[in-house]
Structure 1
Amino acid sequence: MQLKYVFSETGNGLKRNVSMTIALVVTIFISLTLVGLGLLLNAQANKAEDYWGSKLQISVVLCNQNSRSPHCTSGETNPAQQAAIVDILNTHPEVASYSYETKAQAFKTWKKIYVSKDAEERQIYAAVTENDMQNSYRVTLKDPQQYRGVESALSGMDGVDKVNDLRDVLQPILTTFNKMKWGALVVAAFLLLAAVLQVSNAIRLAAFARRKEIGIMRLVGASNLYISLPFLMETLVAAVIGVAGAALAVGGVMYFFVYGNLRPDLHVVEWVSWRDAGTALAEVAALGILATLIPTLVTTRKYLKV
């Protein structure tokens, strides 16, 4: 087999179908970039679940004078009620440990969180005092997924205003990650389908443009692979360029966004790493090559009839 001829025909084919090649490269680039970002978002969602899975707590908020819960009819939680709550925490099989947060500690934390530049809001916040806060217990669970039992046991007790679950705060974040992930993957799937159709169309046009050459090659006994290889090389070049562009785009997101902003400034979760990006890019590269070579092999058999 004359490789010089194969490479020569590959170059001629790329020059002959410049616009089609560019369109194919752009489609592959955008679709694979979205696939890569979807895989990163999937890895990030998994890391967030793993990171918070061992840190999820429930907060048992005790009654104060302002509580309106039906279990707070006596106002502040009295010592007998508090002792009953502690007894549940000490004996319940789902509880690993717990800590007590006083009104003073809650007020200190509240002042750090509720900071506003708005003058009216600052006046409202200034009226809040330590006595308006509530004592609470922070409960760490043996299994973060097993929490319904202790939650139901505590929420119905006298002296308990409410039982807060950190999942209520984190679930919207995890849901957002999942929606972004599936959104990127769905759009990428449509674009990959467009890339496959473009490959088929490009092969059909290229075969029509070279019909005389292909006929001569059949007459002289050229093998199927020899006739098909230039077409395979053309789509492979487009795939490699598209994969390279997607790798640069995903790498840019990691460098400028994740490592440039999120990791240094936000320490609320473990963020995706270069290793996760490398895994995503390896999957993207494999998908990009397969998404172009497979339809090329199928299409050449149809249009070249070799």
Structure 2
Amino acid sequence: MQLTYVFSELGNGLRRNVSMTIAVIVTIFVSLTLVGMGLLLNAQATKAEQYWGSKLQITVFLCNENSTTANCVNGEATDDQKATIEKTLDSNNEVASWRLQSKQEAYDKWREAYVADDDTESRVYESIRPSDMQESYWVQLKDPEKFLGIKSAVQGLPGVNTVRDLREVLKPIYFWMNVMKWGAIGIAAFLVVAAILQVGNTIRLAAFARRREIGIMRLVGASSLYIQLPFLMESLVAALIGVGLASGALLVFMGVVIYGTLRPTSNIVAWVDWGDGLWAVGLIALLGLALTLIPTLVMTRKYLKV
């Protein structure tokens, strides 16, 4: 296979269809950026639920040495008190499941979310140890509207410091996060369809412009792959540029908005990190290649027949 011909045809094709190629690149860029934003919002919602709990959960915090409530007069919750709490959870019809979060797990979550802005906060941050945290039971409810029974059953038990119910606070937060996530993915889906159609139109115009050369190559016995390769290369170039722009936009968003604004100023939740950003970039890269190369293979089989 003569690669000189392939690259020559690639350059000719890009020059002939420069406006269509730019349109494909822009559509891929916008659609993949929105898909990436949807993936980041989904990762953020997952982190928020891991940190605060979902609208189907309540959290039962146990006493530690620093607790001052009436149920904590004897200090740290004992094993017998924990056994009583667990028996109450097991026997309540409102409870679907529960798990015990250790002090170390609570400490790790807190350190992931907390950011110290000055020397005073840094000293406080470094002074806190896992032993200062509270163990807690994360209780999954069968019905988010039926929680008063289990709440009243456990909040008066010895060893229970507080019962946290953030369902009404978290409900609008999760609602709008889901709206933004699915809105971004929904708009991206329409743009992905537009990108596929534009790829098809680009291939159709390119095949029409080269119909004489294609006919000659068929007559001399050139293989389908040899004829298709320049078209695939054109689509690959458009995909790589579009993926590169979308990836750059996501990484700029991570650096400026997440790491530059939200993480240093807000400790209310663990924010998405570079690992989540790179995961989103990897997925949109695969999607970008798929939505250009697959339509190109399908369309060339149709339009390159002579």
The reply to whether TM is greater than 0.5 is yes
Over 3 Å counting, the alpha-carbon distance change for 1:155 and 1:199 in structure 2 is: same
Verify the 8 A CA contact 1:24 1:199 in the aligned structure 2.
Answer: yes
List runs of 5+ in structure 2 lacking aligned partners. 62-69, 71-80, 90-97, 102-133, 154-162
CA deviations over 1:268-302 (Å, ceiling 9, x no partner): 00000000010111010000001000000000000
CA deviations over 1:179-237 (Å, ceiling 9, x no partner): 11111101001100000000000000000001111111111111100000000000110
Cα RMSD (Å): 3.0
Match of 2:283 in 1: 283
Cα deviation for residue 177 of structure 1 reads: 1.1
Cα deviation for residue 58 of structure 1 reads: 7.0
Over 3 Å counting, the alpha-carbon distance change for 1:58 and 1:210 in structure 2 is: same
Verify the 8 A CA contact 2:35 2:184 in the aligned structure 1.
Answer: yes
Write the letter of the residue equivalent to 2:202: A
Verify the 8 A CA contact 1:56 1:140 in the aligned structure 2.
Answer: no
Please give the alpha-carbon distance, in whole angstroms, between the structure 2 residues aligned to 1:89 and 1:270.
28
Verify the 8 A CA contact 1:58 1:166 in the aligned structure 2.
Answer: no
Verify the 8 A CA contact 2:51 2:269 in the aligned structure 1.
Answer: yes
CA deviations over 1:45-76 (Å, ceiling 9, x no partner): 001001113995479xxxxxxxxxxxxxxxxx
3-state SS of the aligned residue for 2:173?
A: helix
Task: Provide the identity percentage.
Answer: 60
Match of 2:33 in 1: 33
3-state SS of the aligned residue for 1:269?
A: coil
Cα deviation for residue 305 of structure 1 reads: 1.5
Verify the 8 A CA contact 2:30 2:246 in the aligned structure 1.
Answer: yes
Verify the 8 A CA contact 1:236 1:292 in the aligned structure 2.
Answer: yes
Verify the 8 A CA contact 1:57 1:140 in the aligned structure 2.
Answer: no
Verify the 8 A CA contact 1:58 1:164 in the aligned structure 2.
Answer: yes
Match of 1:13 in 2: 13
Count the aligned residue pairs: 234
TM-score (norm 2): 0.69
Task: Find out whether 1:144 has 2:139 as its counterpart.
Answer: yes
CA deviations over 1:156-183 (Å, ceiling 9, x no partner): 9xxxxxx972111012111111111111
Match of 2:220 in 1: 220
Match of 1:294 in 2: 294
Write the letter of the residue equivalent to 2:177: F
Verify the 8 A CA contact 1:44 1:272 in the aligned structure 2.
Answer: yes
Map 1:1-306; keep pairs closer than 5 Å.
Answer: 1-53=1-53, 57=59, 91-92=84-85, 93-94=88-89, 142-146=137-141, 151-152=148-149, 165-305=165-305
TM-score (norm 1): 0.69
Write the letter of the residue equivalent to 2:224: N
Please give the alpha-carbon distance, in whole angstroms, between the structure 2 residues aligned to 1:16 and 1:170.
54
List runs of 5+ in structure 1 lacking aligned partners. 60-78, 80-87, 98-138, 157-162
3-state SS of the aligned residue for 1:174?
A: helix
Verify the 8 A CA contact 2:33 2:247 in the aligned structure 1.
Answer: yes
Write the letter of the residue equivalent to 2:140: Q
Please give the alpha-carbon distance, in whole angstroms, between the structure 1 residues aligned to 2:222 and 2:44.
51
3-state SS of the aligned residue for 2:138?
A: coil
3-state SS of the aligned residue for 1:142?
A: strand
Cα deviation for residue 146 of structure 1 reads: 3.9
Please give the alpha-carbon distance, in whole angstroms, between the structure 1 residues aligned to 2:276 and 2:179.
19
Verify the 8 A CA contact 2:58 2:140 in the aligned structure 1.
Answer: no
Please give the alpha-carbon distance, in whole angstroms, between the structure 1 residues aligned to 2:224 and 2:2.
14
3-state SS of the aligned residue for 1:143?
A: strand
3-state SS of the aligned residue for 1:222?
A: coil
3-state SS of the aligned residue for 1:38?
A: helix
CA deviations over 1:85-105 (Å, ceiling 9, x no partner): xxx9995523989xxxxxxxx
Match of 2:128 in 1: none
